[in-house]
Structures are given as structure tokens and as C-alpha cells.
Structure 1
């Protein structure tokens, strides 16, 4: 089996890093389902993906990745359309509240945990059986350097992304004797519309920590994900791959 035979789901696929990942996977020949809370945007993004001689078909699916029933419905729609599942990229996310812990609203905190961590659990759990049935599986989670270092005034986001890293380690070990590999990437600042959710001071502080003195690009993230989603990633599971312009210290 090669990429032209494989089906990939990308959550948060309507924009930002998710859209760049979907475009790269389709360019490599995957048939791609773009899952997003905005169903119209997902459909439009799927239709707009660049076509090539090797590109597979694409599909836009509305899903609330924090809701168990919605994830199950989206998976049924994807399997009905493509017939199988081989790759899942959990890229849905939000920066959440920017505030000191003492001032952080509980509902905003919980929503950030749900979008960034609960969604990874629900989608990954749903993907395991179809991947095992297909005899091949790659789950790639988008964590963050914040999950390693903890960004000030972003406690919910940092905690959620730390959870993604630990979840990846646990699930990778669970599936080590199967054909399914589970890994994650930990980007620093990446140029996407998500940056608009950060305050100017928070963004400046994050950029100041990057030795390369620039933000990364969504395409650079997509390149790393493409490797993690393929055959050549065969002896890595439960691992975290930094994408930080030299910022990561461990």
C-alpha cells in the first residue's frame, strides 16, 4: 500500500496548520477528509485543495471534535465515503484565555482543555479500530512548545498541550506491537490566523525566545507531519518532535 491508497483525516482542516497539512497529504497522494467545526469552511477548503496527478479525492466534514457523538458521526461519514482510515492528524486547537491563573475564568479554561486535549482523545480513540482493520495507522498530534515550557498567562493552553504530549507517549506504548504509530510535534510560534488570539505582548515574548528570530510556517509543520504519517516513520512511537527554531531545550 502507498500514499495513493491511504485515507487521512485532518481535524481543524479548514484553516491554519491543518489546511497546510491537508494540502501536503493530498499532494503526496492521500485521500483527505478535512474535519472542522465550520462545515462550510471545511467543504470549501476541501474543494480548494491543489490538485496534482497523484492527488486523491478530498472531503469536508463538519464535526465538533470535543463531542463524542459528533466524532462518531463524522467517522461514519468518512468511512462511508472512503471505505477506510489510515492517518489521523489532530490539529484542531485554540489558544484559550490569556490571563493570570488567579484571574482565569473557569469556563474559558475548560473550553481550552476540551478543544486542545479532549478532542485528541476522542478522535484518536475512534480511529484505532479502523486503522487496525486496515493494517496500517499513523496518528500525529499537534502539541506545542508551551506544553514543555509553560507559557505565562496561558496556563490552560500550556496544560492542555502538556497533556497531549503525555497522551501521545501513553498511546504510543499501548500500540507499539501493532501497525499503528502515535507521535506528536511541538511547534513554537507558527504563522497562522491563530496568532490573532494572542496579545501583542504574549506574541513578542514567544518570538523573543526563538534563536532563529522568526516564526515557523505552516508548510514547515506540514512537512514534518507528512514524514510522521508515512512508511518511513516505522521505529518512532510515543515521541515528541520539536519544531521550534532552536527554542526547545529538552
Structure 2
């Protein structure tokens, strides 16, 4: 076997070094691209839960609205590291008619779960039950039409029988009827355990204290946790 002349070694060494350097650069660049891609990949977009209601949703009377049941639901979600953000769309004094008027504007933003909490003010004002039911159905229809894949939850409400036993009974039945008709998740009575309990309500006897809202949050959580 012939020996390679020494001058050829002098030529081959730089070529081999150049090839090794080029390969290392390509590997580094590939690794860099992979790192950049990972860094640029956004975290999974959070899904949205909208609570659409009146002063109960808006946490009326509390110094810190985050102490209301909607804020407490967000804290619960965060503690469990669930990928949801909560939007509080509560307006104090809102009736079902008012809610039906403003729902179109709200639906301009995407949502995944819609919690409907309206009707209490209708009952306190003695608005005909048929009118309340019609408005709630209209809101449900608009949400279904805009976001057919969204999950809907209806918060049931009751009113004191002193307004009239038949009226109170008919009013209470509206929520179960709508939930069954539209296949919604029903919170039987949002104020269960709080309504009528003086120590859990503000002096007006209508709006819950911070402690009362903790119970409301549990009433809601029991029904929506399986939807998340």
C-alpha cells in the first residue's frame, strides 16, 4: 500500500476541520431553531366563562367585588390550574328585559360557558312570569345561535311567597322548565342556604355578605365543575 505524501496531509487537515466546523454550526442552528420554536409557541389560549346577571353577579354592596361568588369561582379555577378565565357581566338592577337588550353586545366576544343569572328583579317588581320566561328564552336562543358549542348554565331564582303564592310558584317553575326545554345545566336555587338568613345578608336583606357569597360560590361550583 502506497504511503500518502506528507504534503497531502497538509491539504487534508484544513478541509477536515472546515467540514467539522460546518457540521457543528448546522447542529447548533438546528438546536437554536428548535429552542426558538418552543419559545415562540404560545401557551394554550384560556377558555372563557361569562357570568351574565344582576347585582348578585356584580357583588353589590361588597367593598371588594372579587369577594363575590363570581370572583371566588375564578380563584377556585386558578387554584386548580384550570385553563379558564371568568368574565363578570353583572349589572345591578338588571331585569330580563334589560339583559335581552344588551346580550347582543356581549356576544361580540367568544365564550365557552355562559352562566345566566337573571330574573330576581323581575320577581321583585311583579313583572308577569310569562314575560320573564320569554326574555330568558330569547337570551338563551341568542347565545345558542352565536356560539352553538357553548355550554349554558341557568341559575334558578325564587321569590318570597308574600308577593303571592301562585306568582311565587309559577316564577320558581320557570327555571326548571327552561333548563329542561333547552337541555341546560341548572343551579336549582342560587341563594340556597343564604336567602332569608339575616347574618348572611346585608342590611337590605337581599344582597349577600362576603360570607354569603362563599355559599353562593359553592352552589354554583357543584353544578359547573363537571363542565370545565
**What is the TM-score of this pair, normalised by structure 1?**
0.49
1:72 maps to which residue? 100
Could you tell me how far apart the structure 1 residues matched to 2:89 and 2:150 are?
22
In the alignment, is the contact (CA less than 8 A) between 1:172 and 1:182 conserved in 2?
yes
Does residue 162 of structure 1 match 2:169? yes
Does residue 31 of structure 1 match 2:31? no
Could you tell me how far apart the structure 2 residues matched to 1:183 and 1:122 are?
19
Larger Rg computed on CA atoms: 2
In the alignment, is the contact (CA less than 8 A) between 1:89 and 1:140 conserved in 2?
yes
Q: Which runs of 5+ in 1 are unaligned?
A: 39-63, 97-109, 199-215, 234-250
Could you tell me how far apart the structure 2 residues matched to 1:7 and 1:34 are?
10
User: Alpha-carbon deviations, 1:86-132, whole Å to 9, x = none?
Assistant: 222315635x9xxxxxxxxxxxxx86223998556523531244247
Aligned equivalent of 1:127, options 137, 140, 152: 140
2:59 maps to which residue? 15
In the alignment, is the contact (CA less than 8 A) between 1:21 and 1:221 conserved in 2?
yes
Could you tell me how far apart the structure 2 residues matched to 1:14 and 1:173 are?
27
**Shift in alpha-carbon separation, 1:92–1:173, aligned structure 2, 3 A:** closer
User: Alpha-carbon deviations, 1:190-223, whole Å to 9, x = none?
Assistant: 4233x5258xxxxxxxxxxxxxxxxx72211221
**Shift in alpha-carbon separation, 1:218–1:164, aligned structure 2, 3 A:** farther
**Shift in alpha-carbon separation, 1:171–1:123, aligned structure 2, 3 A:** closer
2:113 maps to which residue? 86
Q: Which runs of 5+ in 2 are unaligned?
A: 1-45, 78-83
1:189 maps to which residue? 196
The structure where helix makes up a greater share of residues is 2
Post-superposition offset of 1:165: 2.5
SS at match of 1:33: strand
User: Alpha-carbon deviations, 1:2-43, whole Å to 9, x = none?
Assistant: xx51322231232349962221233324432323146xxxxx
**Shift in alpha-carbon separation, 1:232–1:75, aligned structure 2, 3 A:** closer
SS at match of 1:231: helix
Within-5 A mapping of 1:1-250 = 4-12=46-54, 13-16=57-60, 20-27=68-75, 28=77, 29-37=84-92, 64-67=94-97, 70-80=98-108, 82-84=109-111, 86-90=113-117, 93=120, 112-114=125-127, 118-119=131-132, 121-131=134-144, 133-143=148-158, 146=160, 150=161, 154-156=162-164, 160-176=167-183, 180-185=184-189, 187=192, 188-190=195-197, 191-193=200-202, 195-196=203-204, 217-231=212-226
Could you tell me how far apart the structure 2 residues matched to 1:128 and 1:76 are?
11
**Corresponding residue pairs, total:** 160
**Shift in alpha-carbon separation, 1:140–1:118, aligned structure 2, 3 A:** same
SS at match of 1:34: strand
